[in-house]
Amino acid sequence: MTRKLRCNAIALGVAVALALTGCSGSDKPADSSADSKGLEKTTIKVGALPVPDAVSLYLANEKGFFKEEGLTVNPVIITGGAAALPQIESGALDISMTNYVSTFLAVSTGKKIKLIADCYQAGPNTFNIMVPGDSPLKTVADLKGKTVLVNNLHNISTLAVATQLKVAGLKETDVKFAEKPLPEMGAAIKSGQGEAGLLTEPFITATQSASGFRKLADTMTGQMENFPIAGWMATEEWSSKYPKTLAAFQRAISKAQQLASSDRKQIETMLPKYTKIDAKTASVITLGTYPSELNADRLQKVADLMLEYGYLKGAIDVKSVIAAPSSS
């Protein structure tokens, strides 16, 4: 009995040992195929918000654009660009989505981060100040002394509202801002926690159709027309340590961005797969654009506007924050 047990144990041990050596053996071909592409790192973790902005990451995965580059990309859900910053700093993520306002705020405090690819640019009616249908507010000037709900204080939403206030002859300090997550914003306005809110998709469409909200202003006009919203970032250290991996990521993402910007259907079929936006909503929501090139001049507009509205203490030369695609 005990002898049989011992035999079994030995057999099991041998099997485990074989399985282990088998595993390490099968790892080798994978490594060498990666070597042939010359990438320093073939498997990377990339943080993204579950929103339409990030569609190119999922498109590049599904269409095999990363695979063609010898890259395995594991998407990780993040909770915001500012929240993802410590995650790329600690190494939990290799690359993450970020919004440009958060990025330049971080750069101004000395964070060593690089923008490596563009992600999303605002289009008309993608960042709207919304009010209930029966609200007495008719124009942006009426917001004086009122509370405007935003998903993040001192960030892109407040900046967007500030540019509209300026047109109406008001300052950022003429309204009160309060932070509220986007999913709860509509209900919070209805229950009187604020008079208006800065909403993005799919919440603009949802509050319009379900709660009868109306648009008070489209903030992506005037100074913020075609405003660059989101990009992909990595730490300076990561960018210089893995230049080929970085270049491979840039090529694949750029290809996916081109696909997204040329074919809305691709976005609509992709959205229900990585977000909880259903196919019907995906077909009606307003989308921005998906630039395939990280253009310093366009991004400089963000930094300059932040300086003008006091979000930055000093000017930032955006060129120095960009890790340009290498020619290799």
Name the site residues for other proteins (rule: CB under 8 A): 47, 49-51, 74-79, 83-84, 86-87, 89-92, 181-183, 186-187, 190-191, 202-203, 206-207, 210-212, 274-277, 281
Closest CB 298 distance from other proteins, rounded Å:
26
Q: CA distances (Å), 166 to each of 162, 267, 270, in order?
A: 6, 35, 38
Helix (H, G, I), strand (E, B) or coil at 286: coil
Answer whether 57's CB lies under 8 Å from 253's CB: yes
DSSP letter string, 76-112 = EE-S-HHHHHHHHHHTS-SEEEEEHHHHHHHHHTT--
**For other proteins, which is the closer residue by CB, 85 or 299?**
85
**Residue 19 main-chain phi, psi, to 5 deg:** -60, -40
Closest CB 10 distance from other proteins, rounded Å:
29
**For other proteins, which is the closer residue by CB, 174 or 237?**
237
CA atoms within a 13 Å half-sphere pointing along the CA-CB vector of 29: 4
**For other proteins, which is the closer residue by CB, 91 or 310?**
91
Closest CB 84 distance from other proteins, rounded Å:
8
Whole-number Å distance between alpha carbons of 49 and 178: 22
The angle formed by the CA atoms of residues 73, 239 and 48, to the nearest 5 degrees, is 40
**For other proteins, which is the closer residue by CB, 13 or 91?**
91
Helix (H, G, I), strand (E, B) or coil at 285: coil
Closest CB 41 distance from other proteins, rounded Å:
14
- Tokens 């019907």 identify what position? 280
**For other proteins, which is the closer residue by CB, 38 or 181?**
181
Whole-number Å distance between alpha carbons of 328 and 265: 33
Closest CB 80 distance from other proteins, rounded Å:
9
**For other proteins, which is the closer residue by CB, 242 or 251?**
242
Whole-number Å distance between alpha carbons of 303 and 52: 24
Closest CB 187 distance from other proteins, rounded Å:
4
Closest CB 212 distance from other proteins, rounded Å:
8
Whole-number Å distance between alpha carbons of 85 and 201: 24
**For other proteins, which is the closer residue by CB, 90 or 320?**
90
Q: Among the residues of 191-242, which ranges form H helices? A: 203-211, 236-241
**For other proteins, which is the closer residue by CB, 74 or 139?**
74
